[in-house]
Amino acid sequence: MSVIYFICAGSACVVLLAFGFLRAAAYGIRRQGRRERPLPADTGIVLGAYTDGYRPSDPLVARLRAALHLYRHGYVRVLIVSGGRGEDETVAESSSMKRFLILNGVPPEVILEDRRSRDTWENLRNSMSLMQTYHLKTAVIITSDYHLPRALAVARQLGMNATGYAAWSTQRELRTAYREVLARIKYTVTGQAAI
């Protein structure tokens, strides 16, 4: 009986330590993303997130408002909206983002779309291709604070000349920040992100 007790207690300690690590890492990643400061650039790249038809999710609205801020203050002159259509989405994330930006006063001719991307790696690779096509040399990557460190690591791996600007996440998004910790580990292990 005492051996089972010690095994259960030890297992509970391991689970609590793992959860504590995950929580601390998630808060650390959010802080790291919030410390990034953008430099003026040719384009802003807005990374997609879930959209319900043409109604962007709260995290995506935060990213789009961050993009509007940079555009209106002259940090960027062109916006690239990057995101395909997920299995649970009826329109491409980029189409929803473009509509939001147009409704908020951004001229359609300064918005470029990448409708094919399914993940961060593809977002940035496809955006780089658009940058080359339109002779855009520098970028500001615009995404959620917890996502920005990994996005910038991918940009470095791809050789992109980019800085970042974080849309601050809410406490409700902390679960997504936990997932981001695991995604960062995966991208680092598989060589898709430079440390």
pLDDT in tens, 45-83: 999 999 999 999 999 999 999 999 999 999 999 999 999
Task: Tell whether the model's pLDDT for residue 181 goes beyond 70.
Answer: yes
**CB-based contacts of 152: which residues, under 8 Å, 6+ apart?**
36, 141, 162, 163, 164
pLDDT at position 5 = 64
pLDDT at position 52 = 93
Which whole number is the average pLDDT over 95-119?
A: 97
pTM of the model: 0.86
Q: Cα separation of 38 and 23, whole Å? A: 27
Least confident among 88-92, 100-104, 105-109: 88-92
Are 63 and 144 spatial neighbours (Cβ–Cβ below 8 Å)? yes
The hierarchical CATH code for the domain 2-189 is: 3.40.50.620
* Closest listed residue to residue 169, CA positions, set 58, 52, 6, 9: 58
* Closest listed residue to residue 162, CA positions, set 144, 180, 142: 142
